[in-house]
Structures are given as C-alpha cells and as structure tokens.
Amino acid sequence: MNQKLRVSRFFRLPVAALSATFIATCAYAQAPAVGTGPIHDRMQAARTNPELEKKLFVLGRKVAAVCANCHGDKGHSNTEEIPVLAGQNSDYLIEQSRKYIDGRRRDTFMQGVLKALSVDEIVGMSLFYAAQAVEPQPTQSAALVEKGKQYFGKVCVACHGADARGTAHMPRLAGQHPGYVLATLQHFKKRDGIRSNPEMESITQGMSEADMKAVAAYVAALP
C-alpha cells in the first residue's frame, strides 16, 4: 500500500487513539519463540478464565475501533491490500503481532501500531477478530477457482486444512482478499524479508504467478 494512502487513512482515526498509539514504547523487542512470553501467557490465562476472557474481548472490541478505518468494523476490510482479520485464528494473530514487534515481519506502519499496544490489547483484539464472522468475497472466475482448488489440494491442504481455515498456529486463508494473498505469496517467494517463514518460503519457490493467482482466487471463494 502506498504511504500516502496509509497516512491519510490514519489521520481519520480518533485523536486520543492516535496519540496513545505512538506514545507507548516497545516492551517486547526481544520476543521469545512461539508459544512463550507475556502475550502467550496472557492468552492462556484468558482461555482458562471466562471472566478475564470476556474482559479482554471487550477491550479488544475498543482496540478494533481504532483499526476499523483499514481493517473494517468487524475485521472485514474493503481494500484488497489490507487483510481480512475476521475469523482469523487468535494464536496466529498473536504470533504475527509478535513478529511485527520484533521485526521478523516488516511493515513500518503495522509495526508502529502493534508496538504501541499493551499485552492485554493484543490478546483482546485477537479474541475479538477471531470471533467475527467472515463475509463472502466477490465472485471469482470459476475456471480459475477450479485450477486453484487442484493446486491447493496438492500443496497447501496439509497445513492450512481442507477448508483453508487453518489451525491455532496456521492462518485461515478462507475468505481472505485474493490481492493480499497474492502479494504475500510473492514476498515469501522473493525472500525479501517482509515476511519470514521457512516453510512458506520453500513452498512458494515452485509457484508461478499463475499458480498464485489461481490459489488466491480459490481460497478467497471459500466460506
């Protein structure tokens, strides 16, 4: 996304939220490996304590109001380059937040936003978005979807699941914007450091642009 578009969108956010976003400092620059650390511990605590889970969910809904200009009211963004967060798996959202914070995933704007959130706000927004319904994407070409289905069934299904809804640590792809999926696959393939994951980097080496477009159309069409 071009920087101008981001800035102009962001300036429409409430002033209080905007300043809060940039005042806080990065407390987790040295984030530990998957499944450990303060964010993970807080999520585990919420999972075993319904009252805490509810409290963090309500906080997450407030946080999501700050993200709504880009990610949509309930996590369904209307822009191809901005990922749908609705229905995304909460552990995946936490892990990506940590990756932005410690620099393993690069996007200057999103890194700044997530560094400014507290542990509770990150856990809360992950709970909130994971619980939102996924809205259907515009209809894709049937031939392209069929081609993508074949490819997905051979290469992607083992990790992302038959319904492309992922698992705790695997992202949901069903209902995601095809433009975002395509751009993400290209980053993995180029190994440009914007995204980093050994499995996805290796899988995309064998993908042509046409394969990527087909698979993106297929997963977008899934409920």
CB of 158 to ligand HEC, least distance (A): 5
Other beta carbons within 10 Å of 115: 19
In the bound state with ligand HEC, the residue whose beta carbon lies nearer, of 48 and 135, is 135
In the chain, % helix, strand, coil (3-state, to 5) comes to 60, 0, 40
Residue with smaller CB distance to ligand HEC, 48 or 223: 223
Which among 138, 117, 101, 133 has a CA at the least distance from the CA of 66? 117
Task: Check whether 200 is labelled as a binding-site residue.
Answer: yes
Exposure letters 11-37 (e unless 16+ CB within 10 A, then b): eebeeeeeeebeeeeeebeebeeeeeb
Interface segment toward ligand HEC; rule CB under 6 A; list 25-33, 45-53, 106-114, 130-138: 106-114
For ligand HEC, the closer CB: 42 or 195: 195
Establish if 1 lies at the interface with ligand HEC (CB under 6 A).
Answer: yes
Question: Among 20, 26, 52, 200, which residue interacts with ligand HEC (rule: CB under 6 A)?
Answer: 200
Residue 73: CB partners within 8 Å, gap ≥ 6? 64
- 207 known ligand binder: no
Contact of 70 with 82, CB cutoff 8 Å: yes
Q: Is the dihedral of CA 24, 94, 192, 197 positive or negative?
A: positive
**Minimum CB separation from ligand HEC for residue 119, in Å?**
13
Largest CA distance in the chain: 50
Chain residues binding ligand HEC by CB under 6 A are: 1, 6, 9-10, 63, 66-67, 69-71, 81-83, 85, 88, 93, 96-97, 105, 107, 109-110, 113, 125, 155-156, 158-160, 170-171, 173, 181, 184-185, 195, 197, 199-200, 203, 215
Give the annotated binding-site residues for heme c.
Answer: 67, 70-71, 110, 156, 159-160, 200
